[in-house]
Homo-oligomer: A and B are copies of this chain.
Amino acid sequence: MPRVPVTMSRRDQILSEAARLFARHGFHGVSIDGIGAAVGVSGPALYRHFPSKEGLLAEMLVGISEHLLAGGQERAAAHTDPVDLLDALIAFHTDFALRQPELITVQDRDLANLPDDARRSVRGLQRAYVEIWVGALVRAGLADGEDAARVAAHAAFGLMNSTPRSATHTRADVAAGVLAAMTRAALHAHPA
A7 proximal to B (CB < 8 A): no
Copies of this protein in the assembly total 2
Q: Is A2 an interface residue (CB 8 A)?
A: no
B186-A190 in contact (CB<8A) = no
A179 at the interface (CB under 8 A from B): yes
Within the complex, the shortest CB–CB distance from A103 to chain B, in Å, comes to 16
Q: Does A175 contact B (CB under 8 A)?
A: yes
Asked whether B182 lies within 8 Å of A187 as measured between CB atoms, the reply is yes
Q: Mark each residue of chain A from 160 to 192: 1 if its CB lies under 8 Å from any CB of chain B, else 0.
A: 111001110110001101110111111111111
Contact across chains for A192 and B177 when beta carbons are under 8 A apart: yes
Q: Most B CB atoms within 10 A — which of A153, A188, A189?
A: A189
Chain A interface category by residue count: 35 or more
Bound complex: CA of A175 vs CA of B153, how far in Å? Answer: 12
Neighbouring B residues of A108 by C-beta, 8 Å: 165
Q: How far is the CB of A119 from chain B (nearest CB, A)?
A: 13
* B162→A158 contact, CB < 8 A: yes
**Does residue A25 face the partner (Cβ distance < 8 Å to B)?**
yes
| Residues in chain A within 8 A of chain B (CB atoms) | 24-29, 108-110, 112-113, 147-148, 150-162, 165-167, 169-170, 174-175, 177-179, 181-192
4 other A-B residue contacts (CB within 8 Å) besides A26-B28, A28-B28, A151-B175: A25-B112, A26-B110, A148-B174, A150-B170
A-B contacts, 15 listed (Cβ < 8 Å): A26-B26, A28-B28, A29-B113, A147-B170, A151-B179, A155-B162, A155-B179, A157-B165, A158-B160, A158-B162, A158-B165, A159-B162, A177-B191, A185-B185, A185-B189
